[in-house]
């Protein structure tokens, strides 16, 4: 019997998850199938219940269903609770559904894979949306010295920072209020996808040793180009985060952590050719 998994979203044709997970399965000799599924916005819960009833083992969840998956899960991991969103559903043998969020773990794993130390460093997180929220707890688990969340809406950044105050030294501010120096700057906004830069002082960027953009494409994002031209030593896009979050989902389902190196290299080559 082949264990069945899906990634569910709307739209979904662009998803690289089937290639990633099929590669992980081949690498670790796991007997499973993994496909992508387009689901109508109002059919999410029905579809999940039907897939579970037919013997499905789990799902990855992408836009726009992460909040619905959060509401549907019977149990939530601390990461999922902190993110307020679920990207991984695990169908348990007792019929219940567990929800987790592996996005932040994917980000942290990718940063560490580039030999960037997070512990005792100063982190600037640009943006206060769902992408930012999903990565704060895993970043704080690495014990940075300080984390500042900066957002166009100052109030949203402050509110988000207050939710994590017990987990570390976290504060929020407006983009025009950023002060001090940072070792690592993470752009969690989608600005790069429309070729726009976050409205922050270039001196803040120039002082960083690492800039990370959660976006990625077949060319370097405008944020990373900007950072590199300002002399930032390490510029990293979000492709490794994509593969890293998938590896963590795979571990949750199969109990084994796959290597991401060859999969990431293959995807990088595909992007260059597209």
| Claim to verify: residue 109 and residue 230 sit in the same structural domain | yes
Residue 249, pLDDT > 80, answer yes
Q: Give the structural domain span for 22.
A: 3-101+245-273
- What pLDDT was estimated at residue 111? 98
Residue 34, pLDDT > 80, answer yes
* CA atoms within 13 A of residue 247's CA, in its CB half-sphere: 23
- What pLDDT was estimated at residue 166? 82
| Claim to verify: residue 31 and residue 147 sit in the same structural domain | no
Q: How far apart are CA 38 and CA 44, in angstroms?
A: 10
| Claim to verify: residue 59 and residue 126 sit in the same structural domain | no
CATH code, domain carrying 205: 3.40.50.720
- What pLDDT was estimated at residue 274? 78
Per the structure, the count of domains in the chain is: 2
Listed residue (132, 113, 223, 211) closest to 170, CA to CA: 132
Q: How far apart are CA 135 and CA 201, in angstroms?
A: 23
Q: Is the dihedral of CA 104, 110, 114, 115 positive or negative?
A: positive
CATH code, domain carrying 70: 3.40.50.10860
**Please, which residues bridge with residue 68 across strands?**
none
Q: What is the DSSP string of 6-75?
A: EEEESS-TT--HHHHHHHHHHHHT--EEEEEEE--GGGHHHHHHHHHHTT--EEEE-TT-HHHHHHH-SE
76: phi then psi, degrees, rounded to nearest 5 = -125, 135
| Claim to verify: residue 130 and residue 196 sit in the same structural domain | yes
Q: pLDDT (tens digit, 9 = 90+) per residue, 188-236? A: 999 998 999 999 999 999 999 999 999 999 999 999 999 999 999 999 9
| Claim to verify: residue 109 and residue 221 sit in the same structural domain | yes
| Claim to verify: residue 15 and residue 140 sit in the same structural domain | no
| Claim to verify: residue 131 and residue 178 sit in the same structural domain | yes
| Claim to verify: residue 47 and residue 63 sit in the same structural domain | yes
| Claim to verify: residue 233 and residue 127 sit in the same structural domain | yes
Q: Which residues 6+ apart lie within 8 Å of 265 measured at CB?
A: none
Kindly list the strands in the beta sheet with 122-126, ordered across the sheet, starting from the edge strand earlier in the chain. 170-174, 146-151, 122-126, 184-187, 210-213, 234-236
In the predicted model, what is the mean pLDDT of the chain?
Answer: 96
Q: What is the pTM of this model?
A: 0.95
| Claim to verify: residue 109 and residue 133 sit in the same structural domain | yes
> Mean per-residue pLDDT for 111-118?
98
> Mean per-residue pLDDT for 19-26?
98
CB 167 within 8 A of CB 134: no
| Claim to verify: residue 118 and residue 230 sit in the same structural domain | yes
Residue 273, pLDDT > 90, answer no
- What pLDDT was estimated at residue 254? 98
104: phi then psi, degrees, rounded to nearest 5 = -65, -40
Residue 101, pLDDT > 80, answer yes
| Claim to verify: residue 12 and residue 93 sit in the same structural domain | yes
Q: Which sequence positions are flagged as catalytic?
A: 66
């Amino acid at each position: 019997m082949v264990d069945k998994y899906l990634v569910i979203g709307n739209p979904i044709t662009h998803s690289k998850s089937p290639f990633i997970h099929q590669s992980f399965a081949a690498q670790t000799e796991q007997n499973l199938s993994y496909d992508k599924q387009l689901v109508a916005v109002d059919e999410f819960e029905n579809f999940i219940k039907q897939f579970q009833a037919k013997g499905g083992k789990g799902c990855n969840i992408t836009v726009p269903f992460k909040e619905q998956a959060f509401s549907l899960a019977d149990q939530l991991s601390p990461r999922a609770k902190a993110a307020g969103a679920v990207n991984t559903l695990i169908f348990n043998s007792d019929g219940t559904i567990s929800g987790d969020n592996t996005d932040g773990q994917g980000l942290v794993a990718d940063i560490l894979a580039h030999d960037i130390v997070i512990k005792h460093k100063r982190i600037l997180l640009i943006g206060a949306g769902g992408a930012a929220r999903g990565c704060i707890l895993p970043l704080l688990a690495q014990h940075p010295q300080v984390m500042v969340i900066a957002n166009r809406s100052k109030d949203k950044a402050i509110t988000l920072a207050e939710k994590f105050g017990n987990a570390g030294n976290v504060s929020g501010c407006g983009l025009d209020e950023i002060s001090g120096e940072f070792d690592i700057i993470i752009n969690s906004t989608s600005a790069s996808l429309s070729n726009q830069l976050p409205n922050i002082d270039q001196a803040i960027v120039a002082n960083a040793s690492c800039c990370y953009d959660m976006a990625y494409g077949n060319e370097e994002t405008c944020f990373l180009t900007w950072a590199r031209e300002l002399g930032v030593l390490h510029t990293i896009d979000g492709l490794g985060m994509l593969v890293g979050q998938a590896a963590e989902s795979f571990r949750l389902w199969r109990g084994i952590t796959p290597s991401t190196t060859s999969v990431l290299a293959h995807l990088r080559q595909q992007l260059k050719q597209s």
